[in-house]
Amino acid sequence: MANKEKSAEMVSENVEVFRCPICHFPVKVFGLKSLVCPNNHTFDFAKQGYVNMMTRPSSSHYDKKLFEARQKIIMKSNLYTFLHEKISEVIGKYLDASHAPAVILDAGCGEGSHLQRILEECNNDSITAIGLDISKEGIVMAAKNYQSPIWLVGDLANAPLEDQSYQVVLNVLSPANYMEFKRILTSDGLIIKVVPRSNYLKELREALFIDKNKRDYDNDEIVSLFKQHFHLEKYFKLSYVKELSQTELMNLVQMTPLAWKSEKEQIDTFIKQNSVGVTVDLDILVGYKRKKRGGK
């Protein structure tokens, strides 16, 4: 079966968790070719195995080269291995407690590698995974490389997802839309948001930014906003250093917007090193729509 038909079949089996982004009515799969709502708004499955549910033109600064570099870093360098292990551990405990199958959304999934790695760590057939991103380039790559999740091009501000249909929302190093997250999560739904801490990729930032004020960063406002919308159940600080080779350093530079306004000389100096220890410094925020029963 071709990717297009496989994707349509997976969506058909889980069609109740989707909705039309135009009229917000339920949708159905017709002929393993399209998603159609009662008002005849139609969204076709692409041959690569994804469906585009955007309702407006969109532009992204993230291009194919960036996504290719990102995929190599995530899948081959082990830079984010500890992150994937911790997130899968949190999901596993949640699923053990709920004793039910789960639909997981990766909101702002890019080219899908974080979601794929997390699913591999979870190793749980009861999970249905959906990756959503506004970048068509990223979703095309995700659909070509990973066939078990459902891939959608869609707008996080108007997600083509049904109310209270998702048990878990992942938001990994990506902008959030908390109103939409609250809308689509079940009453006891779990949200896992990953945000950078002050030392995240500090070696790269120190190499590319001369002005120290541009290198400094804190996530206090992001954490505070999260707490305004969700009950913060757990708060993990993840900090470690991974040695990256010269090739991996090149991919790291290519995958991050940090390098977009940097001088070529700075970039060349950084990537010509044989290897560098690169710091991963992250907060993992784990929250619920409401305080867990018996929680403090």
The pair of three-digit structure tokens given for residue 188, joined into one six-digit string: 């006891």
Whether 90 and 192 have beta carbons less than 8 Å apart is answered as yes
Q: What is the pLDDT of residues 68-123, one digit of tens each?
A: 999 999 999 989 999 999 999 999 999 988 777 899 999 999 999 999 999 999 99
Is the Cβ–Cβ distance between 133 and 159 less than 8 Å? no
Domain ranges of the chain: 3-288
Q: How far apart are CA 11 and CA 14, in angstroms?
A: 5
Other CB atoms within 10 A of residue 71 CB: 22
Strands 127-133 and 102-107: parallel
Residue 84 token pair: 């994937």
User: Rounded mean pLDDT of 140-159?
Assistant: 96
pLDDT in tens, 195-210: 999 999 999 988 887 4
Statement: residue 212 has pLDDT above 70: no
Q: How confident is the model at residue 295 (pLDDT cuts 50, 70, 90)?
A: very low
Residue 296 has a pLDDT of 39
* Residue 108 φ/ψ, nearest 5 degrees: 85, 50
Q: Is the pLDDT of residue 213 over 70?
A: no
Residue 158 in tokens:
């108007």
pLDDT of 211 reads: 55
Tens of pLDDT, residue by residue over 244-253, are: 999 999 999 9
pTM over 0.85, yes/no: yes
Beta strands in 40-147 (DSSP E): 42-44, 51-52, 102-107, 127-133
The alpha carbon of residue 252 and the mean position of all alpha carbons in its chain are separated, in whole angstroms, by: 18
Q: What does the DSSP assignment read for 5-46? A: HHHHHHHHHTGGGBB-TTT--B-EEETTTEEE-TT--EEEBP
- The dotted CATH code for 3-288 is 3.40.50.150
